[in-house]
Chain A
Amino acid sequence: MQAGDHPHQLRRRLDRALIGGVCAGIADYLGVEPLLARAGMLVIAGLSGIGFALYPLAWALIPATGHRPESWRTRLTGWREAVAIAILTAGAVVALRWLGLWLGDAVVWPLITLSCGLALVLRQVTAPEWLSTAAPSEPDAGGLGAAWRRWPAGVLGTVLVFGAAVAFLRTAGILTDSGKVFLGTAVLVVALALVVAPYLLGLARKLTSERLQRIRSEERAEMGAHLHDSVLQTLALIQRRADDPAQVVGLARSQERELRDWLLARDGTAGPPTSLRAGLEQVAQETEATHAVRVETVVVGDCPLDERLQALIAAAREALVNAAKFAGAAQINIYAEAGEERVEVFVRDRGTGFDPEAIPGDRQGIRLSIRERMARHGGMAHVRSTSGQGTEVELIMERAAA
């Protein structure tokens, strides 16, 4: 909707606006100089007063086009806006009078002054939002100089607001009537509130945006720290171990697992695992990291860990480590199913397999760490293995009565 897109439509021309762009728009529409239209508007206003009402009406009804030029934004905006608001108010008052609703001198002039002053005060607060050409992330883009330049308008606005209050009190005769001190005080308090509120509002808004920004930068720092501790370290390790494919694969796998857990915000990263699923995944991850095998973990259902299930996981870890060390398989499958009454875990590999009855005495892993550990906690372990076809360790643990 650039200016000039629709030459035959009536549009307020913000790009050439003195106040609201109404006269510039009309001039554009009629094909005459804006000055002519402005003079015409003044004449109409002077003749009947109706122009004062027409202008705000036109401002409200005619759609705008174009953008206010930078110079307009940065220079004297407050003053023009204040004048425009005053004219608007005056127009509204004149319109009311026209309709036979004259409010009386006691109200009219203070009202116009008040709106003018308020406009100036408000400008000082809201201005940085859309006045500044800098990114909104720099709330103080204007710097000290800009603040200093804005001062006179703010002071004048304040003076106008209080002036309006005093004028109202005087014309209404309240100032001289000692019996109405309370009402007078109230009016002054309202005036004070009107002046101060916008500043407070602006301050609050600024604080909120600063807080948001701080939260954002903290999050970024935390993510940076995490990536540094995990991903970058792993990448560095991988570069140094480039000649050992098995280890590289192991590192990549465990890092992938860890990163995914972190992204999904699982509880794995903070403290010891608290659920069966997290416990088994941690065990699987450790085995992958130390033994360069792939561990496919499938868990159906889940339940919180208690002493029995800790033992179950410890046994599963032993079975897993055994498989990784002795089976020579590239992949190990863990399948766990948490039922209402029992938890079952299967650890399976397709490795060399062995004869469970003929385990040499020095390999106590299966007997001590798996069978006896399970039995101590009321569970069972079965080992099925066939030479050449791999091994499956089945662990069954009854769940403690709730």
Chain B
Amino acid sequence: MTGEESVTVVVVDDHALFRAGVRSELGRRAAVVGEAGTVADGIEVVLKLRPQVVLLDVHMPDGGGVAVIAGAAPQAPNVRYLALSVSDAPEDVIATIRSGARGYVTKTIATEELEDAIVRVAAGDAYFSPRLAGFVLDAFAAPAPTAPDPDLDQLTSREREVLRHIARGYMYKEIAQRLTISSKTVEAHVSAVLRKLQLSNRHQLSRWAVERDLD
């Protein structure tokens, strides 16, 4: 899965500077094969090039990352998405994850870590940055007002523990060591959280949703 061939990547971001930066940074384990600056171009490029991973800006005019996934995913089901942004707005990030992105990183991420994330997402795993882990913990923190499906609406204590370690800045390997489980199990926990995040309905009643309405 993480063979010697580098992962093909398309960057969809409305900031040309950022696209250029990623293109020049990536190299060893992942290579940028195409880029786009708008939602419409992004869908076109993704459908044409069918990359393994799309680096997707959360915030763009005309709908942002969510619109790109909605436009391209039905026809290119094997393409995987990694959301990234400078934005701190949790609801936008969570919305992108829920529409199909397999992870989220901030744009200030170090190159090494970005490559890590790309390789992981290309292999079908989830990649949670510390910030996303924080968002998810926050989203699942408040007790579910209505819990039609407890399996989906709550995190297990192990999943919570893994997320807290990610939020604290630990890598999967280190987490496995600290919790005396295997790296694969850590990965499984993160994937389970991703699945819950995408399938659960309770996120809409999360802390921010409530705060939004009260504002």
Find residues 256-285 in chain A having any chain B CB closer than 8 Å to their own CB. Answer: 256, 260, 264
Stretch of B19-27, B132-140, B144-152, B193-201 contacting A (4+ beta carbons < 8 Å): B132-140
Residues on the A chain within 8 Å of B68, using CB? none
A333 touches B130 (CB 8 A): yes
- Closest residue of chain A to B133, judged by CB? A298
With an 8 A cutoff between CB atoms, is B180 at the interface?
A: no
Decide yes or no: A392 and B168 within 8 Å by CB, A299-B134, A300-B138, A335-B134 being known contacts: yes
Residue of B nearest to A281 (CB): B88
Minimum Cβ distance to chain B for residue A357 (Å): 21
B110 contacts A300, C-beta separation under 8 Å? no
Q: A298 to B88, Cβ gap below 8 A?
A: no
Structural contact, A296 and B130, CB atoms closer than 8 A: yes
Q: Is the CB of A296 within 8 A of B169?
A: yes
Indicate whether B70 reaches chain A with its CB closer than 8 angstroms: no
User: What 1/0 mask marks residues of chain B from 86 to 128 whose CB sits below 8 Å from any chain A CB?
Assistant: 1010000000000000000010101000000000000000000
- Residues on the B chain within 8 Å of A346, using CB: 168
Q: How large is the interface on B (under 10, 10 to 19, 20 to 34, 35 or more residues)?
A: 10 to 19
Name the interface size band of chain A: 10 to 19
Given contacts A300-B137, A300-B138, A300-B167, A294 and B108 within 8 Å (CB-CB): yes
> Which single residue of chain A is at the shortest CB-CB distance from B134?
A298
Q: Answer yes or no: B40 CB below 8 A from chain A CBs.
A: no
Q: For the complex, is A301 an interface residue (Cβ under 8 Å from B)?
A: yes
- Confirm or deny: A331 has a beta carbon within 8 angstroms of a beta carbon on chain B: yes
Residue in B86, B108, B134, B169 whose CB lies within 8 Å of A300:
B134
CB of B29 within 8 A of chain A?
Answer: no
- CB-contacts of B163-215 with A (<8 A): 164, 167-170, 207
CA distance in complex: A330, B169 (Å): 13
Q: Is B16 an interface residue (CB 8 A)?
A: no
> How far is the CB of B52 from the nearest CB of chain A, in Å?
27
Q: Is A348 an interface residue (CB 8 A)?
A: yes
Query: Cβ of B33 < 8 Å from any Cβ of A?
Result: no
Q: How far is the CA of A318 from the CA of B25 in the complex (A)?
A: 34
Determine whether A372 belongs to the interface, using a CB cutoff of 8 Å to chain B: no
Q: Which residue of A lies closest to B211 (CB)?
A: A302
CB nearest to B171 among chain A residues: A350
Q: How far is the CA of A300 from the CA of B106 in the complex (A)?
A: 17
> Of A260, A264, A298, which one neighbours B167 at CB under 8 angstroms?
A298
Q: Does B141 contact A (CB under 8 A)?
A: yes
**Which residue from A256, A301, A335 sits with its C-beta under 8 Å from B130?**
A335
What's the Cα separation between A105 and B75 when bound, in Å? Answer: 80
Given A333-B168, A335-B167: A298 and B141 interface contact (C-beta under 8 Å): no
Contact B168 A260 (CB under 8 A): no
Taking a contact as CB atoms closer than 8 A, the residue among A294, A299, A331, A337 that contacts B164 in the complex is A337
Chain B residues near A (Cβ < 8 Å): 86, 88, 106, 108, 110, 130-131, 133-134, 137-138, 141, 164, 167-170, 207
Instruction: Offer 11 A-B interface pairs, CB within 8 angstroms, sorted by A.
Output: A260-B86, A294-B108, A296-B130, A298-B133, A298-B167, A299-B134, A301-B138, A301-B207, A333-B169, A348-B170, A350-B169
